Chain A
Amino acid sequence: MDEGWIDACGLEDIEPEDVIGFSHGGARYALYRTDDDRYFATDGLCTHERVPLYNGFVMGQIIECPKHNGRFDFTNGEAKGAPVCENLKTYETQQRNGRLFVKIA
Chain B
Amino acid sequence: MTMSRPDQHISKTAGDKTGTHLPTLRDYSLVGRESALAEENGLAAAEWYSVKIDRKVLKGLMKRKDGPAIRDTIIWFAALALSGAGGIYFWGSWWCIPFFLVYGVLYGSSSDSRWHESGHGTAFKTPWMNEALYSVASFMIFREPTIWRWSHTRHHTDTIIVGRDPEIAAPRPPDIKTLLLNIFALVNAWKGIQSLILHARGRLTPEEESFVPESERSKVYRTARIYIAILVAVVVACLAFQSILPAMLVGLPTLYGGFMTIFFGLTQHAGLAEDVLDHRLNSRTVYMNPLFRYLYWNMNYHIEHHMFPMVPYHALPGLHEAIKHDCPEPYPGTIAAYREIIPTLLRQTREPEYHVRRQLPSGVDAVPYNPGAVFKTAG
Contacts and interface: CB of A to CB of B under 8 A. Distances in A.
A57 B58 CA distance: 9
Given A18-B59, A49-B45, A59-B64, A66 B309 contact: yes
Interface in A42-58: 49-50, 56-57
Contact of A57 (B62, B127, B146, B157): B62
B210 to A, nearest CB: 14
Given A57-B62, A66-B308, A68-B156, 15 more contacts: A18-B59, A49-B45, A50-B45, A56-B310, A57-B59, A64-B121, A64-B310, A67-B156, A68-B157, A69-B310, A71-B121, A80-B127, A83-B149, A83-B150, A85-B213
Nearest to B131: A81
Contacts of B122: 69
Interface string B144-166: 00100110010011000000000
Interface string A82-100: 1101000000000000000
A76 to B, nearest CB: 17
Please classify the interface of chain A as helix (H, G, I), strand (E, B), loop, or mixed, using the class held by over half of its residues: loop
A44 B233 CA distance: 49
Interface residues of B, number: 21
Interface residues of A, number: 16
A47 B216 CA distance: 16
Contact of B153 (A56, A57, A59, A68): A68
A66 B310 contact: yes
Q: Which of A18, A64, A80 has the most CB of B within 10 A?
A: A64
B215 interface: yes
A67 B62 contact: no
A56 B45 CA distance: 17
Contact of A49 (B59, B64, B157, B309): B157
Nearest to A83: B153
25 contacts: A18-B59, A49-B45, A50-B45, A57-B62, A59-B64, A59-B125, A64-B121, A66-B308, A66-B309, A66-B310, A67-B157, A68-B153, A68-B157, A68-B309, A69-B121, A71-B121, A80-B127, A82-B149, A82-B150, A82-B153, A82-B216, A83-B149, A83-B150, A85-B213, A85-B216
Contacts of A83: 149-150, 153
Contacts of B310: 56-57, 64, 66, 69
Contacts of B125: 59
Contacts of A80: 127
Interface in B163-221: 213, 215-216
Contacts of B64: 59
Contacts of A69: 120-122, 309-310
Nearest to B146: A82
A55 to B, nearest CB: 9
Nearest to B64: A59
A56 B153 CA distance: 16
A59 B153 CA distance: 21
A67 B152 CA distance: 11
Nearest 8 pairs between A and B by C-beta?
A: A57-B62, A83-B153, A68-B153, A69-B120, A69-B121, A57-B310, A49-B45, A68-B156
